[in-house]
Amino acid sequence: MSKLIQQLTIIGVGLIGGSLARALKQAEVCGEIVGCGRNEAELKKAVELGVIDRYALDQAEAVRGADMVLLAVPLGAMRAVMTSIAPAIGKNTILTDVGSAKGSVVDDAKAVFGEMPRNLVPGHPIAGTEKSGVEASFATLYQGRKVILTPLENGDEAALKTVAAMWRHAGADVVEMSVEHHDRVLAATSHLPHVLAYALVDSLARMDETGEVFKYAAGGFRDFTRIASSDAQMWHDICLANRHEVLNMLGRFREDLDALTSAFETADGEAILKCFSRAKRARDHFSKIMAE
Amino acid sequence: MSKLIQQLTIIGVGLIGGSLARALKQAEVCGEIVGCGRNEAELKKAVELGVIDRYALDQAEAVRGADMVLLAVPLGAMRAVMTSIAPAIGKNTILTDVGSAKGSVVDDAKAVFGEMPRNLVPGHPIAGTEKSGVEASFATLYQGRKVILTPLENGDEAALKTVAAMWRHAGADVVEMSVEHHDRVLAATSHLPHVLAYALVDSLARMDETGEVFKYAAGGFRDFTRIASSDAQMWHDICLANRHEVLNMLGRFREDLDALTSAFETADGEAILKCFSRAKRARDHFSKIMAE
């Protein structure tokens, strides 16, 4: 019987790539899943765990024969991987990715392929845990989660449909938006908060030579700074890849913070209370519709 | 048998005051606990729940005969309450509070009493939940939590000892520091994070007319902005009461954020990675010693 995907090659078999592979195995929609990565021990483990069927260390070899290639590598590695696989992928091979910024992936593809590959479908699953590696992967990671696809102008319709179908088989809720819109929205709700959390913790740590400040930190601070425990290299890649939108958001936020600072300077309690109250109302309202 | 406290009067019988009353009842260290507040239905409920023994709506009447008075009212109400009780409290009555900023409480006391009352022991339990009201109170709220006392120069030693003993009977870990030090540390770990969270959520909500931004927010954003769901009036009181230290911290943070913004402007990945990595290291290190 014909499968949705005959050969899926996943480059980067960690939490994200591995969880998708597990879900697709359960859904029985792939003929064969081939893994690729730099760490052979991890790939062997992925085969043992039944996450992938086989692996190749060489990227060009791994994508040979694939009708779908999923790039699940850090954004900073995207261009190098595209360069390696470009000579080996077929004319009809669908190329998709899971990067947290989409403009940089599109730029990488343009630079590597000369023109935009019609079969490229940039994607971003809004899911993850603080863990990483194939051992942390699980089949239900995408259940009920949003996956944003950012189809390109003149992109292939059939390729888009296949990528969307793949994510739906993994249990995801697939939505489409433009590359620019994705990068603006994610700069607001994800990249800027990470920048602020890292900046605050770094700021406090550097003024806190005795480690005393953190001793009196309570649950609120713990929650507020949890994202500063995220992988620093990965978030460096993401924020730098989307730096124009991150800068745009930093600029807006800084204007608002300046206004609030002025209110503190003049002890303008009314302005402070207005800001806090609006924020509380928005947070309470939106806490119902926020993704898990 | 003589008790640690013969009559404890608690002004403001909500989560904080009510939980202390419950703990002290269990420890059997008070002769009588008298409640006071503006909402008679709440006070009746407090008696029914066995949290307090009796109540008075009039503040002067409530403190009459008390050897210890605990002010568990918002910081913005502190001065008015002190003014009401000043004529009624005895010469040896110990006065303590639970405010999240201490300099403003000391200033209020100076203004109301003319000189600093020797029996004033400012305090701040680092505990709470997102709930409020006497029904949310429970006897183990302070178990293992830190309570910071900020004894005054020339303050009465015996009063300090009694307040410390009271909190220890409630299960708390009592520490002492100066008023100034308390306000600096709490500005860093509590007040500034609240200001940033409120500012960010307000900033996003105002640019997000369609409510779309929050739809794609994931768990990290939810954690980061949880404190923006806190009571806006209460945090307005706290941040305004400690505004000099809040402004000091805002200034430091803004300098560091400006430096990070410059790094994004020049695409200085190394500087960004250094900041993120230092922050992650500090957060991981201090997550072990942070208060629950």
Q: Which residues pair with B32 in a beta bridge?
A: B7
Residues A132-151 have a mean pLDDT of 95
For residue B149, list chain A residues with Cβ-Cβ distance below 8 A: none
Q: Which of B192, B204, B244, B258 to mutate to probe the A interface, most A CBs <10 Å? A: B204
Interatomic CA distance for residues A249 and A186, integer angstroms: 10
Structure confidence at residue A212 (pLDDT): 78
Cβ distance B282 to A207 less than 8 Å, yes or no, reads no
Q: Which residues pair with B173 in a beta bridge?
A: B146
* Burial zone of B270 (CB within 10 Å; 0-12 exposed, 13-18 middle, 19+ buried): exposed
Structure confidence at residue B291 (pLDDT): 58
Q: Which two tokens stand for residue A40?
A: 């052979």
- pLDDT tier at A228, thresholds 50, 70, 90: very high
Task: Give chain B's end-to-end CA distance (angstroms, integer).
Answer: 36
pTM summary value: 0.92
* Burial zone of B253 (CB within 10 Å; 0-12 exposed, 13-18 middle, 19+ buried): buried
Cβ(A55)–Cβ(A47) below 8 Å: yes
pLDDT in tens, B57-92: 999 999 999 999 999 999 999 999 999 999 999 899
Which residue of B190, B230, B287 is in closest CB contact with A229?
B287
Residues A154-172 have a mean pLDDT of 97
Q: Which of A104, A175, A214 to mutate to probe the B interface, most B CBs <10 Å? A: A214
Interatomic CA distance for residues A199 and B260, integer angstroms: 8
Cβ distance A223 to B224 less than 8 Å, yes or no, reads yes
Q: Which helix (H) or strand (E) covers residue B68, if one does? A: strand B68-71
- pLDDT tier at B209, thresholds 50, 70, 90: low
In the numeric block, the tokens 């990290």 are attached to B220
Domain residue extents for chain A: 5-177, 181-287
Q: Which one has a higher pLDDT value, B226 or B290?
A: B226
Q: Which CATH class is domain A181-287?
A: mainly alpha
Structure confidence at residue A288 (pLDDT): 78
Is the alpha carbon torsion for B149, B154, B155, B158 positive or negative? positive
Interatomic CA distance for residues B121 and B164, integer angstroms: 9
Min CA distance, A181 vs chain B (Å)? Answer: 10
Q: Which helix (H) or strand (E) covers residue B8, if one does? A: strand B5-11
For residue A195, list chain B residues with Cβ-Cβ distance below 8 A: 260
Structure confidence at residue B219 (pLDDT): 79
Structure confidence at residue A15 (pLDDT): 95
Which residue of A219, A253, A289 is in closest CB contact with B203?
A253
Interatomic CA distance for residues B230 and A66, integer angstroms: 51
Q: How many CA atoms lie within 13 A of B243 on its CB side?
A: 17
Strands A94-97, A68-71: pairing kind: parallel
- pLDDT tier at A292, thresholds 50, 70, 90: very low
Structure confidence at residue B50 (pLDDT): 97
Cβ distance A225 to B283 less than 8 Å, yes or no, reads yes
Q: Which residues pair with B70 in a beta bridge?
A: B10, B96
Among residues A100, A60, A62, which one has the least CA distance to residue A83? A60
- What residue in B sits closest to A268 (Cα-Cα)? B240
In angstroms and rounded to an integer, the radius of gyration of the C-alpha atoms of chain A is 21
Angle of the B15-27 helix axis to the B157-169 helix axis, nearest 10:
90
Cβ(A187)–Cβ(A239) below 8 Å: no
Interatomic CA distance for residues A217 and B292, integer angstroms: 8
Among residues A120, A118, A177, A107, which one has the least CA distance to residue A148? A177
Residues B193-221 have a mean pLDDT of 87
Measure Cα distances from A113 to A59, A70, A110, A154, A272 in Å.
16, 17, 5, 15, 52
Min CA distance, A286 vs chain B (Å)? Answer: 6
Among residues A12, A9, A14, which one has the least CA distance to residue A135? A14
Q: Which one has a higher pLDDT value, A26 or A218?
A: A26
pLDDT in tens, A39-84: 999 999 999 999 999 999 999 999 999 999 999 999 999 999 999 9
CATH superfamily of B181-286: 6-phosphogluconate dehydrogenase C-terminal like domain (1.10.3660.10)
Among residues A204, A55, A161, which one has the least CA distance to residue B252? A204
Residues A171-181 have a mean pLDDT of 97
Q: Length of chain B in residues, anyone?
A: 292
Q: Which of B141, B221, B231 to mutate to probe the A interface, most A CBs <10 Å? A: B221
Residues B93-118 have a mean pLDDT of 96
In the numeric block, the tokens 């609006």 are attached to A278
Total CB pairs under 8 A between chain A and B: 288
- pLDDT tier at A202, thresholds 50, 70, 90: very high
Same fold, A5-177 and A181-287: no
| Chain Cα centroid distance, residue B267 | 41
- What residue in A sits closest to B242 (Cα-Cα)? A264
pLDDT in tens, B254-280: 999 999 999 999 999 999 999 999 999
User: Per-residue pLDDT for A131 more than 90?
Assistant: no
Q: What percent of chain B has pLDDT over 70?
A: 98
For residue A215, list chain B residues with Cβ-Cβ distance below 8 A: 146, 289-291
B133 φψ region: left (φ > 0), alpha (ψ -120 to 50), beta (else): left
Structure confidence at residue A209 (pLDDT): 67
HEC string of chain A equals CCCCEEEEEEECCCHHHHHHHHHHHHHCCEEEEEEECCCHHHHHHHHHCCCCCEEECCHHHHHCCCCEEEECCCHHHHHHHHHHHCCCCCCCCEEEECCCCCHHHHHHHHHHHCCCCCCEECEEECCCCCCCCHHHCCCCCCCCCEEEECCCCCCCHHHHHHHHHHHHHCCCEEEECCHHHHHHHHHHHHHHHHHHHHHHHHHHHHHCCCCCHHHHCCHHHHHHCHHHHCCHHHHHHHHHHCHHHHHHHHHHHHHHHHHHHHHHHCCCHHHHHHHHHHHHHHHHHHHCCCCC
User: Per-residue pLDDT for B207 more than 90?
Assistant: no
Cβ(B181)–Cβ(A216) below 8 Å: no
Q: Which CATH class is domain A5-177?
A: alpha beta
